[in-house]
Structure 1
Amino acid sequence: MRGQVGPAPGRQSWWIVASQRLSPYLDPVLGIVAAAAALASLLSTDPASIDPRLESPDVLAAVATVVAAGGLAWRRSRPVASYAVMVIGGMVVSLSGHYIGLLSVLMLFSLYSLAAHGRRRDGLVGLAVGVACFAGLALLDVPDLGTSDLLLAVALLVAAWAVGDAIRSRRRQQQDQLLAAVTEERLRIARELHDVVAHSMSLIAVQAGVGAHLIRTDADAAEHSLEVIAETSRQALEQTRSMLGMLRAENEDGVRPPTRGLDDVSALVEDIRAAGLDVTLERSGTAPGLDTAISLTAYRIVQESLTNVIKHSAARIATVTVAVSGTTVELEVTDPGPRRPGSSTAGHGLLGLDERVRLVGGRASYGAHGEGFRVQATLPVGVRR
C-alpha cells in the first residue's frame, strides 16, 4: 500500500489560514478599538445625568481610561498584566470621582481573558481582586455605585470568571486528549519499528551465516544469500525511514508508513521462503471490510511467529493457517522443531504479540507443540467504517 500523506496546505480552509495570519494582530486592534470606545463613552456622557456628584472629564480621567482599555491589547499574551492595568485604571477613574463608563464592561471581558488564558490560580485571584475593588468603592460611597449596582457587579464578575474558566478547562482537556493521541501513535510506531527491525535483522543474520558457510563451496547459494540480505535491508530501510518521519516535530510534514495487513501475508511468506524456510500458507475465507488495526495485527502475528522460527528453531519448514469467518480471524503458525540448542521462547517479541492481541480485543496462546512450537490467535472481525 502507498503511504498516506496529510492534506496539502492549499486545501486548508481559507478561514483557518486567515485566522492564523491575523491572530497576532487581533488583540492589539482590540486594545485600540476598546480605548477609543471607552474614551468616547467618557467624553460623550453628561456625568450630571448619571450622578450629580460625578466630576466632569479631565486629563487624568481620560488618560486612565485609555490606558486601562488599551491593556486589552495583551489580554492573551500577558493576561495578568492586562487585567492589572484594567483594574488600576478603573480604580483611578472611580476614586477621582469620574464616570467609569465602558470600563466596567471591559473589566468583565478582561477578567474572562485572565481566566481563559492564564492559570486557574490567577483567575481566582483576579476574581477576588475585582470583587474587593467594587466592595471597597461601595464602602467609600463613590458616585454611581449603589448597593444594587454592587450586587450586579459581583454577579457579573463571577459569571465572567466562570465562562473563562470553563473555556480554559475545555482547552486543557483537548490538549490532554491530543497529547494522549500523539503518545499512543508514537507507541504504535515504536511497536511497528520493533517488528520491522527484529524481522529484518533475523533474516539478515541467518542469510549472513549461510553465505559465510557456503561462500567457498557453493558460490551460487552464497550469492543468493547476499541478494536476500540486500533486498531485506532495502525494505527495512524504507519502512524505518518512513516510520521515523512520523516521529519528527509536529510542525513538519511526515509520511505515514505503509500499513501492512492480511493481503501482505503472501508476500511475507515469499520473503521467508527466500531466506531458506519452506513455509506452507493455508488460507480460507475473506473479509473485504476488515478493520485496518485487525488486519495489521494479524500480519504482525504471522511475521513475529515466522521470525521466531528462524531465530529459535532448527526446523526447515513451517505452516501458516489463516481462516477468516464472519466473526473472527483465526491464525496458527507451527513448526515441527526441534528447537536450537540454548534458544529461549522468552523475549519482547511474544510480549508484544500479547499486547497487540489484547489491544484489539482478541486472545492468543503459544507454547510447545511436540518438538516444535505453535502460536495461535483469535481476532474479532471489526468492519471498517
Structure 2
Amino acid sequence: MPPFDQTRFRLPRGARADAVLAGGVFVVVALGAEGQRLSHGEDSAPSQIASWLLIAAVCGTLLFRRRYPVTAGWFTVLGTGAYYLLSDIDGPLVIVPIVALYALAAQGRMQAAIGMAAAMIIGMAAITLAGSSDVTGTAVFMLTGWLVAVVALGSARHSRLAYAEEEARLRATEERLRIARELHDVIGHNISMINVQAGAALFRLKKDPAQAEEALGAIKASSKETLRELRATLGVLRRVDEQAPTAPAPGLARAAELVASAQLAGLPVRIERTGPERSLSAPVDLAAYRIVQESLTNAAKHSGAGQVTIRLAYGDRELALDIEDDGQGSAARPAGSGGGSGITGMTERARALGGELTAGPRPEGGFAVRARLPYGTTGKPMERSDR
C-alpha cells in the first residue's frame, strides 16, 4: 500500500472553506427539514417556498462570514427567527446562527457575539410567553446553555490563538536580541582589536618595523576570524545548507586566543584558574567566553589598562568570572556606551542562565566585571591537562 502523502490532501481554506461549510450546513438543514415535513405532513405551497428560500439565504450567508462577520451573523439570527415564525416545519436551521456565533467569539468580537446570543434567547422567551406550544421553557433553558457554551468555546479559542501569537512574537524578539548580542560581541570585539592593532602598527612602523609587521599579521588574523564568524552567523539566518564550520565553537577552551589577540594589541592579560575545571554546557561555555571577550574589548577601548586579570573559579554549583583591570575605571567608559549593548548584553546573558553580573569601578582603581554562571545540569569535573 503506498504511503499517505499529506501534501496531496489539504483541508480547504479561505473562500473554499466557507463554501464547504455553507454547503455542508445546507445539506444537514435540508435533510432535517425534509424529515420533519415527512413526519408532520404536507405544508402549504407558499409556506414551503418561503421556508426553502430562508434556508438557502441563511446558509448562503456563511459565504460572507469572513468579509462581513458581524453583518452576516445578525442576518443569520434574523433569518432564522423569520423561518421559525413563517414555517410550520421545525427544521434545524438554528445551527447556522450558532456557527456564526462561534466564529464571532473566536475572532474576539465578544460584544457582537453576546448581543446575538441575547437576541436569540429573548426571541425564544417572547415566543414562549406568547403561549406557543412549540417552544417551552425547557427549550429556552437548553438554548441558553448551548449559546453560553458556544460563546465560551469561541472566546477560549480566541484567547489560545492570541496567546500563541504573543508567544511567537516574544520568541522572535528574543531571537533578534540573541542575534544582536552575538553580532555585537563577535564583530565589536574583533573590530575593536583591529582598530587598536592598526594604531599600534602605525605608531611602530618607523620605530620598530618588526613589531609593526607583527601587528599587521594580527590584524589579518582578526579580520579573517571576523569574516568567518560573520559568515557563520549569516548562514544561520539564511538557513542555507552550507558546510559546517570546522573551527571550534566559542568557549573557554578558546580563551587563550582572546588573550593572544589582546596582547598583540598591547594589552597584557593574565588568566588565573581555581578549583577543578569542569565541563560546561554549551550555553554556559558560550556566555563565559562572550563575557571575557566583551570585557577585554572594553578594557582595550576605554581603560588604558596596563594589566588585565581574568579569574575563573570553578565552584560546586557555579562558575565565577572576575575580569579586573588597572585602568581608568568608569571615567572613560560610561555605562551605556555603544547604545548600552556591551554591559547590558553581558548582564542579559548571565540572567538568561539564572546567574548574575555586575560591572563597575574598583575602589583601588580600575574596572571590574564579576559574573556568576550556574552550571545547570552539567558541570562535572574533568581531567585537567598540563599547561
TM-score computed with the length of structure 1 as normaliser: 0.78
Counterpart among 37, 40, 64 of residue 31 in structure 2: 40
1:126-184: CA deviation from partner (whole Å, max 9, x where unpaired): 32233233334445566732332222212211121111112212222222222223223
- Counterparts of 2:115 and 2:148 in 1: how far apart (Å)? 12
Q: 1:213 aligns with which of 192, 203, 214?
A: 203
Cα gap change, 1:190 to 1:83, in 2 (>3 Å): same
- Aligned: 1:382 with 2:376: yes
Deviation at 1:274, TM superposition (A): 3.9
Partner in structure 2 of residue 157 of structure 1: 147
Amino acid at match of 2:24: V
Are the structure 2 counterparts of residues 140 and 279 from structure 1 closer, same or farther at C-alpha, using a change threshold of 3 Å?
A: same
**Larger deviation, residues 37-46 vs 370-379:** 370-379
Cα deviation per residue 1:331-354 (whole Å; 9 max; x = unaligned)? 12233x344997346443334434
> 1:61 and 1:127, CA in 2 relative to 1: closer, same or farther beyond 3 A?
same
Find the partner of 1:325 among 307, 315, 318.
Answer: 315
2:168 to 178, 183, 192: 178
Task: Report what 2:278 is aligned to.
Answer: 287
Number of matched pairs = 363
SS in structure 2 at match of 1:321 = strand
SS, match of residue 101 in structure 1? coil
- State the partner residue of 1:4: none
Change (3 A) 1:143 1:228: farther
Instruction: Check conservation: 2:329, 2:367, Cα contact below 8 A.
Output: no
CA contact (8 A) 1:312 1:345 kept: no
What letter matches 1:180 in structure 2?
Answer: L
Equivalent runs, 1:1-385 vs 2, <5 Å: 22-24=12-14, 25-46=16-37, 49=40, 58-75=48-65, 78-139=68-129, 144-240=134-230, 260-283=250-273, 285-288=276-279, 290-335=280-325, 337-339=326-328, 343-344=332-333, 346-347=335-336, 348=340, 349-365=342-358, 366-368=360-362, 370-383=364-377
**Could you tell me whether the CA contact under 8 Å between 2:329 and 2:366 is conserved in 1?**
no
**What CA distance in whole angstroms lies between the structure 1 residues aligned with 2:128 and 2:73?**
21
Ranges in structure 1 where 5+ consecutive residues have no aligned partner: 1-12
- Alpha-carbon distance in 1 for matches of 2:75, 2:235: 46
Separation in 2 of the partners of 1:246 and 1:122?
A: 46
TM superposition shift of 1:115: 0.9
CA displacement at 1:355 relative to structure 2: 4.3
Equivalent residue of 1:58, what SS? helix
- Find the residue that maps to 1:103 and give its secondary structure: coil
**Structure 1 vs Structure 2: percent identity of aligned residues?**
31
Does the 8 Å contact 2:309/2:324 carry over to 1?
Answer: yes
| Whole-angstrom distance in 1 between the partners of 2:299 and 2:104 | 62
8 Å CA contact retained: 2:302, 2:333: yes
Instruction: Return closer, same or farther for 1:26/1:264 CA change in 2, 3 Å cut-off.
Output: farther
* CA distance in 1: counterparts of 2:28 and 2:362, whole angstroms: 82
Q: In the alignment, residue 163 of structure 1 is paired with which amino acid? A: L
1:124 and 1:245 map into 2 onto residues whose CA distance is: 51
Residues 140/67 of structure 1: CA separation in 2 closer, same or farther (3 Å cut): farther
Residue 313 of structure 1, CA deviation: 3.4
- Shift of the alpha carbon at 1:219? 4.2
| Per-residue deviation, 1:203 | 0.9
CA distance in 2, matches of 1:136, 1:227: 92
Aligned-pair distance for 1:302? 0.8
Deviation of the 1:90 alpha carbon: 0.9
State the one-letter code of the partner of 2:265.
Answer: A
- The amino acid across from 1:383 in the alignment is T
Q: Kindly indicate whether the alpha-carbon contact (under 8 Å) linking 2:77 and 2:116 is maintained by their aligned counterparts in 1.
A: no
Partner-residue secondary structure (3-state), 2:97: helix
Which residue is equivalent to 2:385? none
